[in-house]
Amino acid sequence: MAGGSAIRGSRVGAGPMGEAERGEAAPRVHISFFCANGHETRPAFAAEAQVPEEWDCPRCGLPANMDSENPPPPPKITPYKTHLAYVKERRTDEQAKAILDEALQILRERRARGDVIY
């Protein structure tokens, strides 16, 4: 073992880190938030900060509030709509039939003229 003056387990510039070097920590308050799945989250806020009404649960992602007896309901998830579903919202069956008949008539006329149709 060469030289016993080495400081083991530390790095250059490392020293005792305490409140003397960092300054005093701001006063904090822990607030409980509850989600619909019964999870409790306790984030820390600065004492003078404005606390939000809702907070996202880190476990399940649902919204949470401070009322343990009445947590916010899960958000409504609208199902994926196909293009056909949107078209059916805009047009009636009769309108769709008229548009289809018109498109077929144009297609038949183009074929009769000998147009190349891909």
In 3D, which of 32, 31, 66 has the Cα closest to residue 47? 31
Average pLDDT over residues 88-107: 93
CB-based contacts of 91, cutoff 8 Å, min separation 6: 99
More confident: 4 or 59: 59
pLDDT for 26 equals: 84
Is 20's pLDDT higher than 70? no
Burial class (CB in 10 A: 0-12, 13-18, 19+), 16: exposed
pLDDT, residue 118, reads: 73
Query: What pLDDT is stored for residue 115 in this prediction?
Result: 87
| Lowest pLDDT segment from 25-29, 38-42, 64-68 | 25-29
**Structure tokens, 55:** 């907070």
**Binning pLDDT at 50, 70 and 90, where does residue 5 land?**
low
Helices (H) and strands (E) in the chain, counts: 3, 6
Find the largest Cα–Cα distance for the chain.
100
Q: Are 41 and 47 in contact (CB under 8 A)?
A: no
Q: Comparing C-alpha atoms, which of 19, 18, 53, 57 is closest to residue 37?
A: 57
Whole-angstrom Cα distance, residue 70 to residue 114? 71
